[in-house]
Structure 1
Amino acid sequence: MRVRDWKDIVEDVVDSGADPDGWRAVAGDRAGGVGEDLYLGHPSAGVYQLKTYAKNPYEVKGAGARVARRLDDELDSFFPEKTGGGFAVQSPPEDEDDAEEKAQRLEEVVKAHADAPTTPDALFEDVMDAIDSPAFGPMEYDQYGRPEELDGLSDTFEEAEELLTEELDDLIESDDVGRGFQ
């Protein structure tokens, strides 16, 4: 397992080539300290763990690692099914033509959903397809605490949890984030 900057892990997810709508995520507050924990999983791409914190309103820092090569049956139970909230990873359009093409597809999707009965999940999936999101899916997220599944994943990947916590704590300490105002 190699600990790297969180942005490099997101780039691995984008470049994985995995089926974009096969991703699932679990996230919430860190167990001890400032920041959040996030696990991203895909049956063929594996499981990634990220620990991040907001240094300020404009800058997020963190560390992450690939903690499993596959999302097997044991790990699958920790990730949400195809219902509930959603997440997406998005890459910017390559150029002006790509931006115009995505905007036109998005407009068509919104019109189609406005004219017919739909569900939030169907709209979300169609929008992500229209803008060519490289990774999206359901997410279990608690902005005020930790979902049970997050604790289960942390227990399963205990060694990675310790290494990433240590790395994040070093980043937080070097940024003096925990000091507050004086």
Structure 2
Amino acid sequence: MRVRDWQDILEDVMESNANPGDWRAVGGDRANGIGEDIYFGHPDAGVYQLKTYAKNPFEVQGVGSQVARRIDEDIDPLFPNDGSGIFGVQQGPEDEDDAKEKAKNLETVLETHADVPTSPQALLEDMMDAMDSPAYGPMEFDHHDRPDQMSDLTETFEEAEELLDAEFEDVIEEDVERGFY
């Protein structure tokens, strides 16, 4: 298992060529210390774990790794089929023309959904498709604690958790201690 910068892990997710709408996620507060834990899972792309914290309002620091190459029958129930929320991973537009095209596609989706009865899930899926999102799906996230599935995922990937936690503590220590001398 290779621990890398959290943004490199998101690049892996974006470049996985997995069906974008089949991703699922679970996230919440870290069990000990500042920051958040999040697991992204896809039946074909595997499971990725991130540990992040907001260094300041403009900068996020963190580490992550791929912790499983695929989701098996033991891991599958730990990811939501319907969550309390929905997440999406976005790539910025390549250029001005790409930005205009995505904006036009998004405008068309919103106009279409405004004219017919629809569900929030259907609207989000169509929006993600219009913006060529490489990954989106249901998410269970708790801003003040940890969802129950987080404990099970942490136990399932215990060795990865210990290694990522140690690396993450080094990142935090380096940033936080610098401000207190």
TM class by smaller structure: over 0.9
> 1:36, 1:53 within 8 Å by CA — same for their partners in 2?
yes
Residues paired across the two proteins, number = 181
Counterpart for residue 129 of structure 2 = 129
The structure-2 alpha-carbon separation of the partners of 1:123 and 1:177, relative to structure 1 and needing over 3 Å to count, comes to farther
Report sequence identity in percent: 61
> 1:140, 1:147 within 8 Å by CA — same for their partners in 2?
yes
Question: What are the within-5 Å matches in structure 2 for residues 22-171 of structure 1?
Answer: 22-171=22-171
The structure-2 alpha-carbon separation of the partners of 1:28 and 1:77, relative to structure 1 and needing over 3 Å to count, comes to same
5+ unaligned residues in a row in structure 1: which ranges? Answer: none
Deviation at 1:179, TM superposition (A): 7.6
2: distance between equivalents of 1:138 and 1:13? 16
Alignment-mate amino acid for residue 105 of structure 1: N
Deviation at 1:26, TM superposition (A): 0.1
Alignment-mate amino acid for residue 112 of structure 2: A
Alignment-mate amino acid for residue 126 of structure 1: D
SS in 1 for 2:51: strand
SS in 1 for 2:133: coil
Deviation at 1:84, TM superposition (A): 3.4
5+ unaligned residues in a row in structure 2: which ranges? Answer: none
Counterpart for residue 21 of structure 2 = 21
> 1:83, 1:121 within 8 Å by CA — same for their partners in 2?
no
Q: Report Cα offsets for 1:61-106 as digits up to 9, x if no partner.
A: 0100000000111111000003531001000111111111111111
RMSD: 1.5
The structure-2 alpha-carbon separation of the partners of 1:83 and 1:61, relative to structure 1 and needing over 3 Å to count, comes to closer
1: distance between equivalents of 2:178 and 2:39? 24
Which TM-score applies when normalising by structure 1? 0.96
> 1:55, 1:177 within 8 Å by CA — same for their partners in 2?
no
The structure-2 alpha-carbon separation of the partners of 1:123 and 1:61, relative to structure 1 and needing over 3 Å to count, comes to same
1: distance between equivalents of 2:135 and 2:58? 23
SS in 2 for 1:102: helix
